[in-house]
A = this chain, B = another copy of it.
């Protein structure tokens, strides 16, 4: 019933893409996101996570809000023309965002976990050591940033992003809230206080998640991501009062039962990510007047 209307998402920044005849997620343009079951155990495991979590009354309501709403599974025509395949049906979290800036950050210094094949272990360990996962406790998987000065998007190739060192990751987090992301000059962090800061901003949301991860022993999330995004149109038109900066947790193909132990791997990485956001806010607080001046006069 959905198959005719489904198309590749416009704002995907990481993971498999449905473009160019490949297998990837689809959206219906009306708020639903169809993620094809990944091969082997992973698709089933992710569906199981959403089944468990969406009906889990032990997780508080405000925490449920940090996960895409789950609408069951459905068999629809796959994006690669291989016929009908089961898909996990989720909320398309960026529905209603016209010009979103989006970043996908894979949390945790370790993406491997007990009882996996030696092959998968070595693959994960190699990627963790070859990216900022080990050094920072997270790695940026991909992003697109709307550049206000150029009125266009900047979306570097994922191989470039995966090659980031600590300083480059820090720079990308600054550019994410800057009006001059595409330029080679110092990012102005013009939107830092509006997007990262404030009582509903990214930092406040991350701190709520942190408080939950300090005590929750239900799930351990490996290779899961924080997706953060905001609306640029509102920043352009109304000074960012309706930027709808949001954090969502995504990708649960590798979740495990917590068995009474907190997810120290996710929590440690999340705290490291939080510290970098706090650093940006602090440095932009100190130069707020300069930035406001620069931004107002640059437009």
Contact = CB atoms under 8 A, between A and B. Distances in A.
Interface of A: 109-110, 114, 129, 134-137, 166, 170, 214-215, 217, 259-262, 264-265, 267-269, 271-272, 275-276, 279
Main secondary structure of the interface of A (DSSP, over half): helix
B137 A259 contact: no
Contacts of A137: 261-262, 264-265, 268
A282 to B, nearest CB: 11
A275 B135 contact: no
A206 to B, nearest CB: 12
Most B Cβ at <10 Å: residue of A215, A217, A275: A275
Contacts of A276: 261
Given A114-B135, A134-B114, A271 B275 contact: no
A136 to B, nearest CB: 6
Contacts of A264: 109, 136-137, 268-269, 271-272
CB-based closest 8 A-B pairs: A268-B268, A137-B264, A264-B268, A264-B272, A262-B275, A262-B272, A267-B268, A267-B271
A188 to B, nearest CB: 21
Given A215-B275, A217-B275, A136 B261 contact: yes
Contacts of A135: 114, 261
A155 to B, nearest CB: 26
A215 B210 CA distance: 14
Given A110-B110, A114-B134, A135-B114, A261 B265 contact: no
B272 A261 contact: yes
Contacts of A214: 271, 275
A267 B264 CA distance: 8
A214 B276 CA distance: 11
Nearest to A273: B264
Contacts of A259: 166
B261 A271 contact: no
Contacts of A262: 137, 271-272, 275
B261 A166 contact: yes
Given A109-B265, A136-B261, A267-B271, 11 more contacts: A114-B134, A114-B135, A137-B261, A137-B265, A166-B260, A261-B272, A261-B275, A264-B268, A264-B269, A267-B267, A268-B268
Most B Cβ at <10 Å: residue of A137, A166, A264: A264
A275 B135 CA distance: 25
Contacts of A261: 135-137, 166, 272, 275-276
Contacts of A268: 137, 264-265, 267-269, 271
